[in-house]
Amino acid sequence: MTIAIYRSKTWFHLKAHFMQELAVDIRIEKTSKSRLSEIDLKNPNFGRDFTDHMFIADYENGKWGDFRIIPYDDFKLSPATSAIHYGQSIFEGLKAFRNVKNEEEVLIFRPDENAKRLNASAERMCMPSFPEEIFLQALRELVDLDRDWVPNVPDSSLYLRPFMFATDAFLGLRPSEKYTFAIIMSPAGAYYSGAVKVKIEKKYSRTCQGGTGFAKVAGNYAASMLPALEAQKQGYDQLLWTDSSEHAYIEESGTMNVMFQIDDTIVTAPTMPEEDTILRSITRLSVLELLQDWGVKIEERRIPITEIIEAQKNGSLKDAFGVGTAVTIAPISTIGDEKEGDLELPNWEERELSQKVKKHMQGIQKGEIEDTKNWVFKV
């Protein structure tokens, strides 16, 4: 049995840039039996255990409606559901953290940027935008309801997965007229247990210019699975994707954008609007802002594979690390190249700049360091 709760339009207090009137009434049906006691929050299992509730909204007749939070459950779909056949499916990923200075408070990192990126993906996939103010409201109310699921151990978080997919029961190649937007949540530990070994991919392509590389589209990840599996069989954790036309320039990794420190300069591949093949990581955006504040020299440009190999050989490659929601900052220990073999990087403990970046990012996310940029959404 579920309990229905209706919330009226009231004002809720957030930081100045999140202060707004509740955009819609969200119907809430609370589960009659929580599954929290079945979950080990001291050892959270990324992407396998899900909280008691989920948010859902439906798009029909040109507008979003039926905003609701209900007990986590399966969807009921027609075998002809458009998303299954034609791939109109997008998603986002972000995290909520327990505030170390106030354990009753939960902090969500930069959800406004995720709302913007979701709508950029929707536009590319011919899907309707989802109102940003409802996106934020839904996140807040869902996290508030399941706040006890936020783990409180090192390198842990509550992973939030907003997503949208086409729901027309129609086998015709055209944009769907109906969609579902939903948010589910999963307690998560560290994505990687240590430093990451990556292989430069020169055969397969993740995307191409004019494609969907900049969007967080489900099909992008499906296309990456075979080459990633082949790399894992060779002993690597991830790929370094290269451009599709020449396979001569490094773009990003499978779960993260990538940054290199050559001497005293951070070098990273450009994202939109300069380059449409690379996903614009919100962690990347945040790291670049911090580095700029610290006076670190930054170059956003195409990165030849040959430059990285030469820098490793002459000792000027001081660091290489991934940046992304799942990993935050992931040190790269080895770069594999089909001709040069495995190129080893300095020990993680010796890399002062990326160590500083990781500590500062995690400090802001967990409330240890003052949030001077208004990045944190408090619940």
* Cβ atoms 2, 32 nearer than 8 A: yes
**Quick check: is 279 in a domain?**
yes
Domain co-membership, 217 together with 282: yes
pLDDT tens per residue, range 279-322? 999 999 999 999 999 999 999 999 999 999 999 999 999 999 99
Domain co-membership, 130 together with 41: yes
Rounded to an integer, what is the distance from CA 170 to the centroid of its chain?
Answer: 31
- What's the confidence (pLDDT) of residue 349? 81
**Quick check: is 371 in a domain?**
no
Cα 379 from Cα 369, distance rounded (Å):
17
Domain co-membership, 261 together with 181: no
CATH number at 243 reads 3.20.10.10
Q: pLDDT of the chain along its 379 residues, tens only? A: 333 333 333 233 343 444 445 789 999 999 999 999 999 999 888 889 999 999 999 999 999 999 999 999 999 999 999 999 999 999 999 999 999 988 889 999 999 999 999 999 999 999 999 999 999 999 999 999 999 999 988 889 999 999 999 999 999 999 999 999 999 999 998 877 788 999 999 999 999 999 999 999 999 999 999 999 999 999 999 999 999 999 999 999 988 999 999 999 999 999 988 789 999 999 999 999 999 999 999 999 999 999 999 999 999 999 999 999 888 889 999 999 999 999 999 888 888 999 999 999 999 999 999 999 999 999 9
Residue range of the domain that includes 210: 196-365
Domain closes at, from 165, 190, 215: 190
* Cβ atoms 323, 281 nearer than 8 A: yes
Residues 6+ apart with CB under 8 A from 60: 177, 178
* Cβ atoms 362, 291 nearer than 8 A: no
Domain total of the chain = 2
Tokens matching residue 276? 């449409």
Cα 91 from Cα 52, distance rounded (Å):
20
Domain co-membership, 94 together with 141: yes
Domain closes at, from 190, 205, 236: 190
- What's the confidence (pLDDT) of residue 272? 85
CA distances in angstroms from 229 to 224, 238, 254, listed in the order given: 9, 9, 11
Global model pTM greater than 0.85: yes
Residues 6+ apart with CB under 8 A from 145: 28, 30, 52, 53, 69
DSSP per-residue string spanning 34-102:
--GGGS-TTS--TTT---SEEEEEEEETTEEEEEEEEE-------TTBHHHHH--EEE--EEEEE-TT-
Tokens matching residue 282? 């919100």
**Quick check: is 272 in a domain?**
yes
Domain co-membership, 271 together with 145: no
Domain co-membership, 218 together with 353: yes
Domain closes at, from 157, 190, 223: 190
Domain co-membership, 59 together with 172: yes
Domain co-membership, 261 together with 353: yes
Residues 6+ apart with CB under 8 A from 350: none
Domain co-membership, 249 together with 143: no
Cα 49 from Cα 56, distance rounded (Å):
19
Domain co-membership, 74 together with 186: yes
Domain co-membership, 160 together with 74: yes
Closest CA to 324 of 200, 191, 204: 191
- What's the confidence (pLDDT) of residue 135? 98
Burial 364-378 (b: 16+ CB within 10 A, else e): bbbbeeebeeebbbb
Domain co-membership, 246 together with 263: yes
